[in-house]
Structure 1
Amino acid sequence: MSSPSVSNLPKLEESLPVIDSARQAYLDQVKLLSDRIVKAQQPIRILDAINWDDSIKEHFFAHQCQQLPPVDQAYYQKRPLRFEPSPLKREFHDIEREITRTLGQLNPLANIMRRMCREYQTVIRMLEKRGTEDFADYAQELYGSSSDVFHAGDPTIAQLGEMVEETLSNLLEHQSMQEDARTIEAADAVAWLNARAQDAFPNAGVRVILDDGIASDAAAGNDYIKIRKGATFNLRDLEILEVHEGWVHLGTTLNGMSQPYCTFLSKGPPSATITQEGLAVLTEILTLRSGPRRLHKLISRVRAVTLAEQGANFCDVFHYLREHDLDAEQSYIVASRVFRGSTPTGAPFTKDITYIKGFILTYNYLRIAVAQGKLDRLPLLFLGKTVLEDMRVLADLVEEGTVVAPTFIPPYLKDCKGLATWLSFSRFIGNLNFSQLEADYGQII
């Protein structure tokens, strides 16, 4: 599949409609308030505030992976936040009140902006409670729980994890599912990704850089992707990073930063994380970049969160992962992601369910949009850091000119004939009795 491009599209100023003075005054007020939200959230860096440093990992492996990591509330107190919580909570409260005073109580756009203010206040409260039981309660409020259901009558996220894990255990035993060794060094990965990023985002100033300060192998920022020094990759890894970190995380950020008034769309609170990560995983799968090993990694995170919510400690989760086809390094990474911000015996930080939770929710959104013939809604997922619950409002805002349509749209949504054809069958196929299918096809497979 070819890389997407933002060339040959109209410049922003050429696409904006001519508006009267009253309308312009309203839009100026929206931008003022939106900019205040963007500025207020700048010092909040959730992962920086909760990640464990390398000494914790060294201690764990030095004790043969049998002793709980030395992380408690005092550990976090030695790492102060980059902001003063009380004044920042007050700032979001003041912005929320100003939104109501200037945009109105029932304005749909005001509702989105007020919710963001309240959400950031919850984030601050969560970070204030690092290393305590309250931390996990706030995490569940923001990201959800493995015991949540997708829709009424559906299995829980935890049950989905169990079902997919069982399927993957059969797949991963097959020789054809083995992946190439990771022999591509970080510097070469940077060069490869830089070339692909320039194709996707010409003249956007996008860059891929080496970084030794991130915990994961890669992370996207406003106009860059960081690659961790010392990490190694295979080609499939890089193709996943191209679409996950590049097309989705970077693309939605650039589209959000291009918004003339709703600048808050360039920043993603936790509710947007669910849609963002779900859209990224969905894009991996729809473009055939993903594979069973990648899915196994994501499902392992769901299983780890589930176990921790059921009372397992760090060592329990680590050894469970070791017994389920993850090496020691990966098992530590997954377990530490789940317990970061908490303690090795505490309830989890539940962000890692958002990949699968968001994938299911976003996939269902695409299915329903196609079934209802609303294909124009699909590219709007890339307007910025969107939340599924806001999509109808955002579509109305695009129509009225308050929000501009996305400049960057990946190929599978720019021309969605193939996607629409495939999804047209999904409703019927999804209703087939799989147990009966297994029985019938068991005679011929």
Structure 2
Amino acid sequence: MNAPGASLAPELQRYAALDQRLLAAVKGIRILSTVAWPASLEDRMIEAYARGQFTLPEINYQPPNLSAERTELAAIEAEASYDDPIGEYLSRTAESWRIAAEMLEAVGTRGVTAPSIVLYGRPGDAIPGSDRSNLDAARYFVELSDELGSDLLLDDVDVCITPEELRAELSKTLDAFFGEPIIAVEVDPELTAKAAAGSTRIRLRGGATRFSDYDRHQLLAHEALVHSLTALNGRAQPLLGSLGRTSPRVTATQEGLAVFAELMSGAIDIARLKRISLRILAIDMALSGADFVEVYRFFSGCGQSPADSFHSAQRVFRGVPLTGGAAFAKDNVYLSGLLAVHTFFRWALKQRRLDVLRHLFAGKLALHDVISLQPYFDSGVIAPPRWLPPWMQHVHGLAGKLAFSLFVNRIHMGKVQAEELSLSL
């Protein structure tokens, strides 16, 4: 088998070689596992917190030595340059991995905060195309959820699906979708998140965890048919194998696309929007000085169970001191990414560019990449996606949803009067 790029023009061969160096350099950089907490510690602390016994958890991190990786990534960044869209992609990607390496070497200290904000943003960042911030959006969804909560019937109150049952169901569904058993679904008792997806494996949190119907739909739409699907498409790329791995710089787009998939699939509910919004408010609290117990109490006061409150607070304080003034900012990307991706889809429809929307699934790309790399999609150097989520396979249905939202957003709700609406019908 020939090496990637062996039959390509010299400049593309150079990029292919840099891409392989990039993949080798980042092989040992494991962001979430480096900042993760032991599940056994979480279980003990959740029991204590449920009894009202509040003490700060003691986490012992093992900072990695990534100096060699940082040196190599800086070299790749410089050699790739910004003279060509692929060179720009490689430079930006190498830079983000280098910043991530610096962040991980500071694990357990406040030094994690600044690079995590560079990579994932800050709650107060402005929303593209708006004078509002991510924090404003988070407050809006929380307030809306609270206002509607007493009037909505919760159709997912039965949280009764065991991890083993969900594993069997997801495995059957994914084997049918991909036509073969490409993705293994496993139960992991040490996993702190409800689920985590790679290109060939999806892990579900084990133990006493139970899942709802909404969880099941969300995991399929979010983890399997975006995260795993884009990874598989990226791994099949003939030139840029790095498109099969989520670099820090594409996290916002990838998570935003995954939540957008929930929205398009009907797999998201107002409670889900509230949960991801509360995490942004909690990051802002932690950055402003709130400690772990205060953030836990914030989640608890918003109606979350002791276990969910602990897990939510834990996400905010991964890798940083628990005494306040520091945060791991990754959860900022879910809402900001959703808003950016939604805007991008509407822009693409307005410009009659549905082709760029399909290209989003060709690998682990940022929104910027889909536009800048367009010449290489056109030439075939970057392959189109082999798989698309079901909601993207029906372009007319997608266009209908987007066209409707594109028009109705011109209606200014501040000018709408109930009496006027009732008389018009």
Identify the TM-score tier after normalising by the shorter chain: over 0.9
Aligned twin of 1:209: 186
- The alignment status of 1:29 with 2:6, answered yes or no, reads no
Amino acid aligned to 1:295: L
How much has 1:28 moved relative to structure 2?
2.9
* SS in structure 2 at match of 1:226: strand
Using a 3 Å threshold, how does the CA distance of structure 1 residues 435 and 426 change in structure 2: closer, same or farther?
same
- Equivalent AA in structure 2 for residue 406 of structure 1: P
Identity of aligned residues (%): 29
Moved more, 205-214 or 349-358: 205-214
Q: Kindly tell me: are residues 302 and 35 of structure 1, through their superposed partners in 2, closer, same or farther at Cα, counting changes over 3 Å?
A: same
Given the alignment of the two structures, is residue 411 of structure 1 paired with residue 396 of structure 2, yes or no? no
Give 2:263's aligned residue: 285
SS at match of 1:289: coil
Please state if 1:190 is matched with 2:177. Answer: no
**Residue 72 (structure 2) pairs with residue 86 (structure 1):** no
Coordinate RMSD, CA, aligned: 2.3
Structure 1 residue 207 displacement after superposition: 1.6
2:56 to 43, 64, 69: 69
- Letter paired with 1:98: E
Which of 37, 61, 68 is matched with 1:52 structurally?
Answer: 37
- Residue among 394, 400, 420 paired with 2:373: 394
Q: Distance in 2 between matches of 1:158 and 1:190?
A: 35
Aligned partners of 1:434 and 1:383: how far apart in 2?
Answer: 38
Structure 1 residues 213 and 279: CA distance shift in structure 2, 3 A? same
Aligned pair partner of 2:402 in 414, 423, 439: 423
Q: 1:176 is paired with a residue of what secondary structure?
A: coil
Establish whether residue 234 from structure 1 lines up as the match of residue 217 from structure 2.
no
Per-residue CA distance 1:341-381 (angstroms, 9 max, x = gap): 11112311110011111000000000010011111111111
* Equivalent residue letter for 2:250: A
SS state at 1:272 partner: helix
Residues 1:329 and 2:307 are matched in the alignment: yes
Match of 2:343 in 1: 364
Q: 1:120 aligns with which of 97, 102, 113?
A: 97
Contact 1:197 1:207 in 2 (8 A): no
Which residue is equivalent to 1:7? none
1:334-353 → structure 2 map (5 Å cutoff):
334-346=312-324, 347-353=326-332
Letter in 1 for 2:311: I
1:175 is displaced (CA, Å) by 4.7
2-side partners of 1:224 and 1:171: how far apart?
37
Question: Measured at CA, do residues 335 and 65 of structure 1 come closer, stay the same or move farther in structure 2, by a change above 3 Å?
Answer: farther
Contact 1:59 1:69 (C-alpha < 8 Å) held by counterparts: no
Matched-pair contact (CA < 8 Å) for 2:249–2:366: yes
Does 2:97 match 1:97? Answer: no
Point out where structure 1 has 5 or more consecutive residues left out of the alignment.
1-12, 14-18
State the Cα distance separating 1:290 from its structure 2 match.
Answer: 1.3
1:264 alignment partner in structure 2 = 242
Name the TM-score, length of structure 2 as normaliser: 0.92
For residues 55 and 10 of structure 2, the distance between their equivalents in structure 1, rounded to whole angstroms, comes to: 58
8 Å Cα contact 2:135-2:281 kept in structure 1: yes
Decide whether the 8 Å contact of 2:225 with 2:389 is kept in 1.
Answer: yes
2:334 and 2:109 map into 1 onto residues whose CA distance is 25
Residue 136 (str. 1) matches residue 113 (str. 2): yes
Does the residue aligned with 1:177 lie in a helix, a strand or coil? coil
SS of residue in 2 equivalent to 1:209? strand
Report the CA distance between 1:382 and its aligned residue.
Answer: 0.4
How far 1:151 sits from its partner (Å)? Answer: 2.5
1:309 has 2:287 as partner: yes
Point out where structure 2 has 5 or more consecutive residues left out of the alignment: none
Bigger CA drift: 373-382 or 210-219? 210-219
2:15 and 2:234 mapped to 1: Cα distance? Answer: 15
Of the structure 1 ranges 241-250 and 144-153, higher mean CA displacement relative to structure 2 is found in 144-153
SS in 1 for 2:341: helix
Partners of 1:311 and 1:304 in 2: CA distance: 11
Q: Write the distance in 2 (CA, Å) between the matches of 1:438 and 1:303.
A: 32
Number of residue equivalences? 417
